[in-house]
């Protein structure tokens, strides 16, 4: 139950979670009862917990809608430059609590629900996660929407309203089993269907070339129905919009079948169209070239660009000005950010609209297009990079293939003029890969069609700019890479390399295809000013105020509340590093979070957890490059040490690993199976007792992250150097007072710069060490032979110690580690184990550990998504964040004062600053 507040507290308490006042509480209770009345079915007198949740959600939404309308009216009248964030994923999680916090209603809602005899935490748990993303890329998009609204940018998120989000993961007999995530089955109180803005999207057909230009005819039409979700900024009354498209078949879809009597089949065929928005592809850092996926990618950009152009052309609200018909000012009014290559088809689609429909000359259309688009690259893993077969594109989007060919020809003409006779450079920089199956390289298309390209951490951006190729030449030099002759893609190599192997060099066509992976270095040499870095960030509203209110309030007591919108103010905490009272308070908040999470684990997993043990947490998508396997090897090493000498002092640990494996990713599923097998042995060994416990968190998602992150002592960020683009989980843990054990990879590098490398546990190879090892040749057996503890661990796994009923269960894992480990687990094992020993030693000194925690929190201000968005706004989108606080619905509209408007004047200021 929420704690009841005294009358004095109700009058006086003003907090970062909102004001508690008698009037606020009374109004919320009245609204709750009204919505509960309408929610109940007439013939049912007893409300269910879900009825209570919906009543509360609708009550909070009432406070949101007026601000939403006000914000959109303001944008319509002021006509600022608008930012459009295109992403196939928005991993939003739950909305209720985040909305209450951003509107300043959290404390008032707590009190109102308490007075009604209900538990607000129980109601919050009823809400389904909007699992419309796989991992970091989708969660980043969600954080960015929060920051864009908080910074007063006229911004819109565009994506797909997947009927089924990321699958629900069940662990059965140690194996991952996928269940459909039917997140909309009870309805979604936060969305609003907008059928008045439904738009047609075309597929298939053919192209006719006439004297008036190209015409795309005989197409199949699918309708895009938009659903709008409000995105509130923090305490500024700004509410932006996330618009997600749902596929609908037109009424006459395949009705020609009806004319010959097959009416039933005609109706059933509607599913073919509506399947486009049915389900999210559950792959992270893995490209799967299916026709449905390409349909999804084109569907979202085609609908979105029609919407953008409609909004661009519209006259101002209440104005007699004519509708815009000239596109010269389009880049001054529109900025489109491509979140990875998934929305890359927006580039040829905008060219099609400009050239075929608006009849602009090619050169003018291309100039406008390049100035409008910017591209964020999220990975250097070759299996994650999209390369669509030309044959598929020709069938599905024939006009777009012609446009891509034209873009490529003009691009290569330019390269040829600058680098005459360099045929190899032309091949490397072509948008069309000729080796093997002809494919379109979507990363190349994004680079050529954008005015700015950014990586998401300094080290990642440097790799994107300077690396000769994304992976292949290093492994080719090593001579150890094998490739199944039947595997058409890197992805299928990863899945098939366990079986019937043949040398890559035996197939020159495949070798040519894979050596033509994106070489961004060539593009950086051509246009060096195009490439930038924008280090990722996280929203402190969800990842501190919402999930860790105790720590958020403690910080506010010390440095004030302004840090919530300016996280750099956390540096003020440095002066409290040696303050004994503050040290105790920080330690107390962490312990309270651990006790609460330990209770949750005991309820869910029936394992007794010691809250005083170190909570060692590794939660993220399961992938070989993230090296959950190395963590597992360390768990077994600790287990063996305890069994070897049970009387020796050992710092108790609770190791928590969680994450989902892509359903078709065999090795990731085997890693989960190994972890659960090890957990079963460790947790049931009486010799070990409470010294070591291992938990695999089932169905890891945003709402579960909000529970585990505040309770974490040690954050595992142990990817092979040069493989993680950035990571954002590492930032969430840092902000919430966990210490990081990690490699110099992704944003870990900048975290070490901010906090000092001595305040993180850094181990293992650096990027240059990995490259050197690749040249020399990585031989896993060398490490196995020289490290006795490693040898014991591998022999146990291989011999069936953890799978006695199936001794050969993990032979694929062992075989991969010895012969096909691209991510070099054995090479970093010794350094990792020694670093973990240092972790245990420091954790025994509670005071010194907490001092390091405070230094990390005080150094985490850089990693706010507010900072990231400010950099995007000023360096890429050419807009200025606004301090405007739009008046709430009960205040006259002319009260608000825009201190830093992001209209034309502000853009001029930004341009002057650049000059």
- Is 620 a residue of the active site? yes
User: In whole angstroms, how far apart are CA 800 and each of 262, 304, 634?
Assistant: 58, 54, 18
Q: With beta carbons less than 8 A apart as the criterion, state whether 401 and 391 touch.
A: no
Give the span between the Cα atoms of 21 and 620, in whole angstroms. Answer: 40
Catalytic residue among 139, 378, 530, 851: 378
CA angle 285/628/660 to nearest 5° reads 55
| Contact predicate 269/254, CB 8 Å | yes
Q: How, if at all, do strands 213-217 and 373-376 pair?
A: unpaired
Please give the full DSSP string across 472-499, using - where no structure is assigned.
HHHHHHHT--EE-TT--SHHHHHHHTTS
Q: Which residues in 624-702 belong to E strands, given as ranges?
A: 653-658, 692-697
What's the distance, CA 76 to chain centroid? 30
Active site residue 732: yes
Three-state DSSP at 247 gives strand
- 734's torsion region: left (phi>0), alpha (psi -120 to 50) or beta? alpha
C-alpha span between 15 and 18 (Å, rounded): 5
User: Out of 29, 534, 732, 907, which one is annotated catalytic?
Assistant: 732
DSSP 759: G
For residue 15, report the phi and psi dihedrals to the nearest 5 degrees. Answer: -135, 165
Residues 823, 494: Cα–Cα separation, whole Å = 12
679 is written with which tokens?
A: 């957990």
Catalytic residue among 81, 139, 621, 634: 621
Which residues have CB under 8 Å from 526's CB, separation 6+? 415, 418, 429
Q: Which one-letter DSSP state was computed for residue 686?
A: T
Q: Is residue 623 flagged as an active site residue?
A: no
Alpha-carbon separation of residue 25 from 49, 190, 616, 622 (angstroms): 20, 22, 40, 44
Rounded CA gap, 260 and 727, in Å?
A: 56
Question: CA nearest 368: which of 390, 353, 384?
Answer: 353
CB-based contact 538:731 (threshold 8 Å): yes
For the chain, state the CA radius of gyration: 28
Q: Which of 29, 626, 693, 824 is catalytic?
A: 626
Given the residues 425, 620, 669, 673, the one annotated as active site: 620
**Exposed e or buried b per residue across 716-733, where buried means at least 16 C-beta atoms within 10 angstroms of its C-beta:** bbbbbbbbbbbbbbbbbb
Quick check: 417 and 361 in contact, CB under 8 A? no
Active site residue 534: no
Cβ atoms of 10 and 20 closer than 8 Å: yes
User: Is 572 part of the annotated catalytic residue set?
Assistant: no
Given 39, 728, 740, 850, the catalytic residue = 728
Please give the sequence-ordered ranges of beta strands (E in DSSP) within 544-628, or none if there are none: 614-619
Torsions phi, psi for 181 (to 5 deg) = -95, 85
Other CB atoms within 10 A of residue 911 CB:
10
Contact 218, 233 (CB under 8 A): no
Per the listing, tokens 């994004």 go with 446
Distance (Å, whole) CA 877 – CA 884: 19
Which residue pairs, CB below 8 angstroms and at least 24 apart, start in 793-797?
A: 793/633, 793/636, 793/637, 793/640, 794/633, 796/636, 796/640, 797/636, 797/674
The answer to whether residue 728 is catalytic is yes
Q: Which long-range contacts (CB under 8 A, 24 or more apart) does 423-427 make?
A: 425/522, 427/516
Q: Which residue has the tokens 């009204």?
A: 34
Please give the structure tokens belonging to residue 582.
Answer: 């503050």
State how far the alpha carbon of 291 is from the alpha carbons of 28, 396, 405, 436, in Å. 49, 8, 20, 19
- Could you give the residue numbers annotated as active site? 378, 620-621, 626, 728, 732
């Amino acid at each position: 139950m929420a704690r009841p507040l005294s009358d004095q507290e109700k009058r006086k308490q003003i907090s970062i979670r909102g004001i508690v006042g008698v009037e606020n509480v009374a109004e919320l209770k009245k609204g709750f009862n009204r919505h509960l009345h309408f929610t109940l079915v007439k013939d049912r007198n007893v409300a269910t917990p879900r009825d209570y949740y919906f009543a509360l959600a609708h009550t909070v939404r009432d406070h949101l809608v007026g601000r939403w309308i006000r914000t959109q009216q303001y944008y319509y009248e002021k006509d600022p430059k608008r930012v459009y964030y295109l992403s196939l994923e928005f991993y939003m999680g739950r909305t209720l609590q985040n909305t209450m916090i951003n509107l300043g209603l959290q404390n008032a809602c707590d009190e109102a629900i308490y007075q009604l005899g209900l538990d607000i935490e129980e109601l919050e748990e009823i809400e389904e996660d909007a699992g419309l993303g796989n991992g970091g890329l989708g969660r980043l998009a969600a954080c960015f929407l929060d920051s864009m609204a908080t910074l007063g940018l006229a911004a819109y998120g565009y994506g797909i309203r997947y009927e089924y989000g990321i699958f629900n993961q069940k662990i059965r007999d140690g194996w991952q089993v996928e269940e459909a995530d039917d997140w909309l089955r009870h309805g979604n109180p936060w969305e609003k269907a907008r059928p008045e803005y439904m738009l047609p999207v075309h597929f298939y057909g053919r192209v006719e070339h006439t004297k008036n230009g190209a015409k795309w005819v005989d197409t199949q039409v699918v309708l895009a129905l938009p659903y709008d979700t409000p995105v509130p900024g923090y305490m500024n009354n700004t509410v932006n919009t996330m618009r997600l498209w749902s596929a609908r078949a037109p009424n006459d879809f395949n009705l020609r079948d009806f004319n010959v009597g097959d009416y039933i089949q005609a109706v059933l065929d509607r599913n073919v169209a509506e399947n486009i928005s049915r389900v999210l592809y559950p792959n992270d850092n893995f490209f799967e070239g299916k026709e449905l996926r390409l349909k999804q990618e084109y569907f979202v950009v085609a609908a979105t660009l029609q919407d953008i152009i409609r909004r661009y052309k519209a006259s101002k609200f209440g104005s007699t000005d004519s509708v815009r018909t000239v596109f010269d000012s389009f880049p001054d009014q529109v900025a489109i950010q491509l979140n990875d290559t998934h929305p890359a088809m927006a580039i040829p689609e905008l060219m099609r609209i400009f050239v075929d429909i608006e009849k602009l000359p090619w050169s003018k259309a291309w100039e406008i297009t390049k100035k409008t688009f910017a591209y964020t690259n999220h990975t250097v893993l070759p299996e994650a990079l999209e390369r669509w077969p030309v044959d598929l594109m020709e069938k599905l989007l024939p006009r777009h293939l012609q446009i891509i060919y034209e873009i490529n020809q003009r691009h290569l003409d330019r390269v040829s003029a600058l680098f005459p006779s360099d045929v190899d450079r032309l091949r490397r920089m072509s948008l069309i890969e000729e080796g093997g199956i002809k494919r379109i390289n979507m990363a190349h298309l994004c680079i050529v069609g954008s005015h700015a390209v950014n990586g998401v951490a300094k080290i990642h951006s440097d790799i994107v700019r300077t690396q000769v190729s994304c992976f292949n030449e290093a492994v080719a030099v090593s001579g150890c890479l094998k490739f199944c002759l039947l595997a058409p893609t890197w992805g299928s190599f990863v899945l098939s390399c366990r079986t019937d192997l043949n040398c890559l060099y035996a197939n020159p066509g495949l070798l040519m295809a894979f050596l033509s992976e994106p070489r961004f270095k060539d593009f950086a040499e051509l246009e060096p000013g195009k490439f930038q870095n924008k280090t990722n960030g996280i929203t402190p509203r969800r990842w501190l105020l919402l999930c860790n209110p105790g720590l958020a309030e403690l910080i506010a007591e010390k440095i004030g509340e302004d840090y919530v919108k300016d996280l750099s103010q956390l540096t003020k905490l440095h002066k409290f590093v040696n303050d004994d009272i503050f040290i105790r308070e920080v330690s107390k908040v962490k312990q309270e979070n651990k006790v609460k999470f330990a209770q949750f684990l005991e309820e869910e997993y029936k394992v007794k957890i010691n809250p005083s043990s170190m909570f060692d947490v590794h939660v993220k998508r399961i992938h070989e490059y993230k090296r959950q396997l190395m963590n597992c090897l360390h768990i077994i090493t600790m287990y063996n040490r305890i069994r070897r000498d049970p009387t020796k002092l050992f710092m108790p640990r609770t190791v928590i690993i969680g994450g989902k494996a892509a359903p078709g990713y065999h090795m990731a599923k085997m890693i989960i199976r190994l972890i659960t097998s090890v957990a079963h042995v460790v947790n049931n060994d009486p010799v070990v007792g409470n010294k070591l416990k291992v938990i695999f968190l089932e169905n890891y998602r945003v709402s579960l992250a909000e529970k585990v992150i505040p309770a974490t002592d040690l954050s595992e960020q142990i990817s092979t150097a040069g493989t993680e683009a950035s990571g954002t989980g590492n930032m969430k843990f840092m902000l919430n007072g966990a210490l990081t054990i990690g490699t110099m990879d992704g944003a870990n590098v900048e975290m070490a710069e901010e906090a000092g490398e001595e305040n993180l546990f850094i181990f293992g190879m650096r990027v240059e060490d990995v490259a050197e090892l690749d040249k020399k040749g990585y031989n896993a057996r060398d490490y196995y032979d020289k490290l006795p503890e490693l040898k014991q661990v591998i022999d146990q796994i291989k011999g069936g110690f953890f799978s006695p009923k199936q001794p050969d269960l993990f032979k694929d894992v062992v075989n991969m580690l010895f012969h096909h480990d691209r991510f070099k687990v054995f090479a970093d094992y010794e350094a990792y184990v020694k670093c973990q020993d240092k972790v245990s030693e420091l954790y025994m000194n509670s005071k010194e550990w907490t001092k390091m925690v405070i230094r990390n929190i005080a150094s985490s201000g850089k990693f706010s998504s507010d900072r990231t968005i400010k950099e995007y706004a000023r360096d890429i989108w050419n807009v200025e964040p606004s301090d405007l606080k739009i008046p709430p619905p009960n205040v006259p509209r002319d009260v608000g004062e825009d201190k830093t408007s992001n209209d034309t004047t502000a853009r001029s200021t930004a341009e002057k600053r650049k000059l």
